[in-house]
Amino acid sequence: MMLRLSAPTLSARIESDVLASTLAKLLGSGRAACKADLVRETGLSRTTIDTGVRFLLENSVVRRAGYRHTPGRGRSAELLELSADYGYVLVADCGAHSAQLGVYDLNQRRLSSGLVAYELKEGPERVLTEIAAEFERLLRALPHRPVVTVIGLPGPVDNRSGTIVRPPLMPSWDGFPIAGFVGDALGCAVVLENDVNLRALGEARAGGPLDGPLLYVKVSTGIGAGIVTSNGELMHGADGSAGDIGHMKLASQDVPCVCGNTGCLEAVASAAALTRRMLGAAPTAPVDAADLDRFLAGLNARDPATIADVKEAARSIGEAIANLVHVLNPSRIVIGGMLANAGDDLLATVRGIVYQRALPLATRELTVSKPTLGIRSGLSGGLITGIEHALGPEALNTRSSTRTHLEGIA
């Protein structure tokens, strides 16, 4: 038996939908603004670019946006940009108690935003109906309809079926057809993603190119992580559960967890765990938004017992992250979520433990910081996910009514 060797895929023939998708994404990322830019960026012939652009114009993915005159050149270049007519990207970044909503065009402009408060335990139908209704309210003032909605949820997401699977924080959501329900309500495609994955993606794509994996750790009601590879893509794992670090076992702990195991990081070091300790509640007792607010008020008031609890939690989180550094060798670690946002105690302690525990080769270039996008990381990651879905070969294919124009490109 021969062993398989890794080799890049080469093809002289470019699939028409892949061509259109590539050109649209180059225009959407600002790397190209006219046909000459597209020729330069892709190395393809002017004829091939002409055909791809014609398809994008005919399907209202791209529109003409005036001319750019370059001094010394005889002809001015016709500018192209993604068209609002193609439809909007809606993003719902859902936490345990509220969702931030954003309506964007394909050029990444935010057209409208909103906030919906709820408790996830009210169940999927009620929460998702409220979110869809708020989106409809935001869309009422705008001329176009959505092409895709991206929903980030704090649970284990099965992207293929558009559901979440046995989520410890929201048991009534298990297996509910979330993508189908929202898609019917809003009349567009729906992409479901884990909330921390969206934040990780948003952070990784903000600013310059990523020079190594990025690990985003959210410390909030629960604890979770998102991993972005050096290529800037989310690492989902085989089933979508990569980065679910809240249920890693801490060797020294045996506190019962909502997942049914004991000694999980989340059962010991999450904001919910610290709030239960403050209330003297049982280890798996439900915690609502009002309880969490009381805990955060104590932290903001610099209550010594609360600060000591946060630092102890931070040591457990730091040790878990130091272990992950040995596995992933990230270049950037971002610590976000409610507990990280409330002061610097968590970040400082985690950073100290990671540098102390991880081996020098893994920490030479490593940075540990708060999110550069603040609380907007999740919305930004959702926007990227939405645009890349809308401009993906499959979506363009579905959209196209004039596919024959593209057949036969070599």
The residue to which tokens 């020729």 are assigned: 39
Q: Which of 139, 227, 259, 409 binds Zn ion (CB under 5 A)?
A: 259
Single out the segment in contact with Zn ion by CB under 5 A; choices: 22-30, 186-194, 242-250, 378-386: 242-250
Single out the segment in contact with Zn ion by CB under 5 A; choices: 122-130, 181-189, 196-204, 243-251: 243-251
Q: Which is nearer to Zn ion, 269 or 325 (CB)?
A: 269
Shortest distance, CB of residue 80 to Zn ion, whole angstroms? 50
- Is residue 255 a contact point for Zn ion (CB under 5 A)? no
Q: Which is nearer to Zn ion, 261 or 341 (CB)?
A: 261
Shortest distance, CB of residue 157 to Zn ion, whole angstroms? 17
Do the bridges between strand 214-219 and strand 332-336 make them parallel or antiparallel, or are there none, so unpaired?
Answer: parallel
Shortest distance, CB of residue 308 to Zn ion, whole angstroms? 24
Q: Please say whether the beta carbons of 174 and 74 come within 8 A.
A: no
Question: Which positions from 21 to 40 touch Zn ion by CB under 5 A, shown as an x/- string?
Answer: --------------------
Q: Which of 219, 257, 334, 347 binds Zn ion (CB under 5 A)?
A: 257
Q: Which of 35, 205, 218, 247 binds Zn ion (CB under 5 A)?
A: 247
Single out the segment in contact with Zn ion by CB under 5 A; choices: 234-242, 258-266, 323-331, 393-401: 258-266
Q: Which is nearer to Zn ion, 257 or 406 (CB)?
A: 257
Q: Which amino acid type is present at position 138? A: L
For residue 17, what are the CA distances in angstroms to 6, 56, 366, 399?
25, 10, 39, 11
Q: Which of 264, 313, 339, 362 binds Zn ion (CB under 5 A)?
A: 264
For residue 170, what are the CA distances in angstroms to 56, 94, 95, 174, 270?
42, 12, 11, 8, 16
288-314: b (≥16 Cβ within 10 Å) or e: eeebbeebbebbeeeeeebeebbeebb
Read off the DSSP letter of residue 9: -
Residue 170, both tokens? 């929201």
- Is residue 409 a contact point for Zn ion (CB under 5 A)? no
| 148 DSSP β-pair partners | 89, 189
Q: Which is nearer to Zn ion, 182 or 324 (CB)?
A: 324
- Cβ atoms within 10 Å of 268's Cβ, excluding its own: 23
Q: Which of 400, 329, 386 is nearest to 360 (CA)?
A: 329
223-256: b (≥16 Cβ within 10 Å) or e: bbbbbbeeeeebbbeeebebbbbbbbebeeeebe
- Cβ atoms within 10 Å of 133's Cβ, excluding its own: 12
Q: Give the chain's radius of gyration (CA, Å).
A: 23
Q: Which of 380, 374, 388 is nearest to 29 (CA)?
A: 388
Site for Zn ion in 117-176 (CB under 5 A): none
Helix (H, G, I), strand (E, B) or coil at 141: coil
Q: Which of 148, 155, 260, 254 is nearest to 198 (CA)?
A: 155
Q: Which is nearer to Zn ion, 68 or 249 (CB)?
A: 249
- Cβ atoms within 10 Å of 384's Cβ, excluding its own: 23
- Is residue 387 a contact point for Zn ion (CB under 5 A)? no
Single out the segment in contact with Zn ion by CB under 5 A; choices: 28-36, 98-106, 235-243, 250-258: 250-258
- Is residue 276 a contact point for Zn ion (CB under 5 A)? no
Single out the segment in contact with Zn ion by CB under 5 A; choices: 48-56, 65-73, 239-247, 291-299: 239-247
Shortest distance, CB of residue 406 to Zn ion, whole angstroms? 50
Alpha-carbon gap, residue 283 to 257, rounded angstroms: 7
- Is residue 406 a contact point for Zn ion (CB under 5 A)? no
Alpha-carbon gap, residue 353 to 315, rounded angstroms: 7
Kindly determine how many residues on this chain lie close enough to bind Zn ion according to the rule CB under 5 A: 5
- Is residue 273 a contact point for Zn ion (CB under 5 A)? no
- Is residue 347 a contact point for Zn ion (CB under 5 A)? no
Read off the DSSP letter of residue 124: H
Shortest distance, CB of residue 153 to Zn ion, whole angstroms? 17
Shortest distance, CB of residue 376 to Zn ion, whole angstroms? 29
Shortest distance, CB of residue 256 to Zn ion, whole angstroms? 9
Shortest distance, CB of residue 284 to Zn ion, whole angstroms? 9
- Is residue 205 a contact point for Zn ion (CB under 5 A)? no
Q: Which is nearer to Zn ion, 258 or 366 (CB)?
A: 258
Binding region for Zn ion (CB under 5 A):
247, 257, 259, 261, 264
